[in-house]
């Protein structure tokens, strides 16, 4: 969360005082971040001039330095009238040394490789491409920024809050006298998303102004901090178990863990928690836990809403690919809309680093003989196919070791198809799966485990996979195929009469790279059962897939037991790159449900939620009844079977902490409400909503109970959505978190929150109570 309050101009004397204090403030922040004395940080704090690159003709010097909060980078133009700009370390996705972005490759010379670096931001913000004065300075910037990013992300919740409030208080001290007036306190509260009236300010001052001077300083400001961060709801829970000298003993903590959190642990485990998280050394020596230590523990990953056992790898990865849901993207190269938005290799980088395992490439003939990627028949920009393949090679396995599927939509001539095959073979090397595993014709798809570190091609193939193991040669090069069999391209072809009924020859070199994902046209479940092999994969337009999932769900499930299915958004109906609900398709066993990942949406949140488990591998093992050819499961009719559990889920939304502002104006405060949504089979779909809390995004409290009846909990996703209430227009999205029901932990839990781009908001949390019980 940022303190976004704009600073007023200071007088010369105030500026001098501000500068004198700045060094002390910086020292405090370095200690809070655990980076005191770090040489790279000292370099960033001094700052240097860097050349900012936007185009071939726009390369201008800018002065960059890390500010005293050790979290904000400041840049200034040499021109006095130009504004100063800042960005937060928490906004940075990654820092890359060298000429790795499209901009630096296009607009700078190779001789600048060692001096170049890029700052890539979360969401859809433009990259910051920079040139340092020399190689050493470039390395210092990259190393320093990465250190701050790592240290900031690893701060405990308590340290993070302490650092944030310390710097918000610093910014609120307008006259730099290290004291706070009532007006400064009121302004400070607005900056942290909390609007209060004069009566509250008066009450706050009466409590904190021990010296009765009308100003807060020193210990009084510390008391203000403690008052603001006091958690009434935590006090109630803590006092119920603080039965040993007013503190919580290991035995008391064990009672809390077993009674409230429903955890099966022993006294040794409770003792270890105190040893690990208690902040008061005197209490720790007595094996006791203070309220601060208790709160520290409740913010740890092991105590959050998702079970740590499910967060890491826990599923069997040795079954056929068709037994897994696979995190999949559509039009991966696009970073905005699909009519005139930009195409970028960053689309592949972001999708792969977020764990997507199937990415799409729409390839067309390039005017200079090199295949290009863009959205055909539109004004979207173009990128070179070979650049996309290079990016895929570099980032395919950064997040997950499990296989990546390249879904090729091939519109190229035979000559450029040959070049595509050459680029993939030469760039991807041994990672490219170019022949079947084993010496004999398989009878089922290989497993994710067997395909670790491998890249598979999904495209047309001239012959059957069986021919690979046969001595008979077919007249492959003479066979003509219509590359695009799916309805999306039929729609596009109708808009371009010259391409209508266009038939393309398929290059043998490209065909030979298609092993386990041969694209075929779907002509019905009965036809697929008798004519399609396990390695043949049809693509379904969303409307057709949803229709099958509603009217022929059991047949669809049987089809998806041993064969892969890919579902993609309608091109004609979703020109704005919107998305469809993937849940009904997952309920029908579809593995590759491809979404427009460039578009923030509830559907992307659901995808992120489902694949947040199992080590973010991008592969989730389907429930047993979606892997059984004899399964009678139907998500619509819900016939009786082992999938029916009848669980009652009780959710109490208690409070939230440090919600972000929707509008960065200083006087803009959110009026938050929380909606709890259940996605799953139709019988389980439900939602409930709290009332809104006026003018408080800092520490709102609801204490609202909800009850949901679940019939197939194994397929349910629970989504917590925070919105800013608006009585005139629709509410604004603030943040959310989606969690698979099977990974929920009972008891009092903090819920991590994510922004609209799926990036974690480090300071924001919901606090809830969860209880799942078998219905009577």
Hey, which residues are catalytic here?
330, 375
* Residue bearing tokens 């990546």: 404
Give the span between the Cα atoms of 692 and 711, in whole angstroms.
30
Closest of 511, 513, 517, 467 to residue 321, by C-alpha: 517
Q: Which residues contact residue 210 at a Cβ distance below 8 angstroms, ignoring those fewer than 6 apart? A: 219, 220, 223
Contact at 8 Å (CB) between 522 and 538? yes
Q: How many residues does the chain have?
A: 776
Closest of 33, 661, 740, 40 to residue 325, by C-alpha: 740
The Cα-based distances of 717 to 524, 709, 742 in angstroms read 30, 13, 8
Q: Cα dihedral angle (163, 146, 349, 100), rounded to 10 degrees? A: 140
Give the span between the Cα atoms of 651 and 234, in whole angstroms.
17
H helix or E strand, kind and range, residue 77: strand 72-77
Give the span between the Cα atoms of 415 and 506, in whole angstroms.
10
Token duo for residue 212: 């009765």
Give the span between the Cα atoms of 257 and 248, in whole angstroms.
12
Give the span between the Cα atoms of 175 and 7, in whole angstroms.
11
Give the span between the Cα atoms of 257 and 290, in whole angstroms.
16
Token duo for residue 26: 């910086």
Return the ∠ at Cα 426 (arms to 423 and 432), rounded to 5°. Answer: 95
How many C-beta neighbours within 10 Å does residue 354 have? 21
């Amino acid at each position: 969360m940022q303190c976004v309050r704009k600073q007023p101009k200071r007088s010369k004397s105030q500026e001098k005082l501000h500068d004198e204090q700045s060094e002390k403030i910086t020292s405090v922040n370095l200690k809070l971040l655990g980076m005191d004395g770090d040489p790279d940080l000292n370099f960033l704090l001094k700052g240097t001039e860097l050349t900012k690159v936007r185009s071939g003709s726009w390369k201008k010097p800018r002065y960059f330095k890390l500010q005293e909060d050790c979290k904000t980078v400041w840049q200034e133009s040499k021109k006095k009238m130009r504004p100063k700009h800042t960005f937060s370390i928490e906004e940075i996705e990654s820092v890359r040394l060298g000429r790795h972005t499209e901009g630096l490759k296009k607009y700078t010379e190779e001789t600048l490789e060692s001096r170049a670096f890029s700052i890539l931001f979360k969401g859809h913000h433009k990259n910051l491409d920079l040139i340092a004065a020399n190689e050493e300075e470039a390395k210092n910037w990259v190393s320093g920024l990465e250190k701050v990013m790592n240290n900031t992300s690893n701060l405990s919740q308590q340290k993070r809050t302490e650092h944030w409030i310390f710097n918000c208080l610093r910014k609120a001290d307008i006259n730099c006298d290290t004291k706070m007036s009532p007006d400064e306190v009121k302004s400070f509260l607005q900056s942290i998303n909390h609007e209060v009236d004069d009566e509250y300010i008066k009450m706050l001052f009466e409590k904190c102004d021990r010296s009765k001077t009308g100003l807060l300083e020193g210990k009084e400001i510390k008391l203000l901090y403690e008052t603001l961060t006091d958690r009434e709801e935590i006090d109630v829970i803590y006092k119920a178990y603080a039965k040993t000298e007013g503190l919580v003993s290991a035995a008391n903590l064990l009672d809390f863990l077993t009674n409230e959190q429903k955890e099966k642990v022993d006294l040794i485990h409770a003792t270890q928690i105190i040893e690990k998280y208690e902040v008061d050394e005197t209490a720790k020596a007595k094996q006791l836990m203070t309220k601060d230590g208790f709160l520290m523990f409740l913010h740890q990953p092991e105590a959050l809403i998702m079970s740590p056992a499910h967060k890491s790898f826990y599923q069997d990865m040795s079954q056929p690919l068709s037994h897994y849901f696979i995190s999949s993207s559509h039009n991966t190269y696009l970073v905005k809309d699909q009519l005139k938005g930009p195409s970028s290799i960053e689309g592949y980088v972001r999708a792969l680093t977020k764990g997507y395992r199937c990415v799409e490439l729409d390839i067309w003939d390039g005017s200079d003989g090199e295949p290009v990627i863009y959205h055909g028949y539109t004004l979207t920009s173009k990128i070179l196919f070979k650049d996309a393949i290079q990016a895929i090679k570099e980032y395919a396995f950064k997040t997950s070791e499990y296989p990546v599927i390249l879904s090729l939509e091939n519109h190229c001539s035979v000559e450029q198809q040959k070049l595509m095959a050459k680029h993939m073979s030469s760039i991807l090397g041994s990672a490219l799966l170019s022949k079947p595993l084993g010496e004999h014709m398989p009878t089922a798809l290989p497993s994710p485990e067997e395909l670790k570190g491998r890249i598979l091609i999904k495209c047309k193939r001239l012959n059957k996979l069986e021919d690979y193991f046969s001595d008979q040669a077919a007249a492959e090069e003479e066979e003509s195929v219509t590359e695009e069999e799916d309805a999306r391209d039929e729609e596009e072809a109708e808009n371009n009469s010259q391409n209508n009924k266009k038939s393309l020859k398929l290059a043998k070199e490209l065909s030979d790279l298609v092993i386990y994902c041969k694209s075929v046209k779907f002509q019905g479940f009965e036809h697929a059962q008798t004519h399609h092999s396990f390695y043949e994969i049809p693509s379904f337009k969303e409307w057709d897939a949803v229709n099958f999932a509603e009217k022929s769900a059991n047949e669809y499930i049987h089809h998806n037991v041993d064969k892969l299915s890919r579902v993609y958004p309608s091109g004609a109906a979703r020109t704005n790159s919107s998305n469809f609900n993937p849940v009904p398709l997952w309920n029908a066993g579809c593995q590759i449900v491809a979404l427009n990942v460039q578009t923030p949406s509830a559907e992307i949140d659901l995808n992120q939620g489902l694949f947040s488990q199992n080590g973010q591998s991008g592969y989730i093992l389907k429930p047993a009844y979606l892997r059984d050819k004899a399964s009678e499961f139907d998500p619509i009719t819900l016939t009786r079977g082992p999938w029916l559990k009848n669980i009652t889920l009780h959710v109490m939304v208690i409070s939230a902490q440090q919600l972000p502002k929707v509008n960065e104006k200083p006087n803009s405060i959110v009026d938050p409400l929380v909606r709890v949504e259940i996605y799953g089979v139709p019988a389980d779909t439900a939602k409930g909503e709290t009332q809104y809390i006026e003018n408080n995004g800092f520490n709102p409290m609801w204490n609202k109970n909800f009850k949901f009846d679940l019939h197939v909990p194994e397929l349910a996703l629970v989504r917590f959505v925070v919105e800013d209430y608006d009585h005139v227009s629709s509410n604004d999205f603030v943040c959310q978190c989606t969690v698979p029901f099977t990974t929920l932990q009972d008891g009092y839990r903090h819920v991590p929150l994510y922004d609209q781009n799926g990036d974690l908001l480090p300071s924001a949390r919901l606090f809830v109570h969860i209880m799942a019980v078998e219905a009577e």
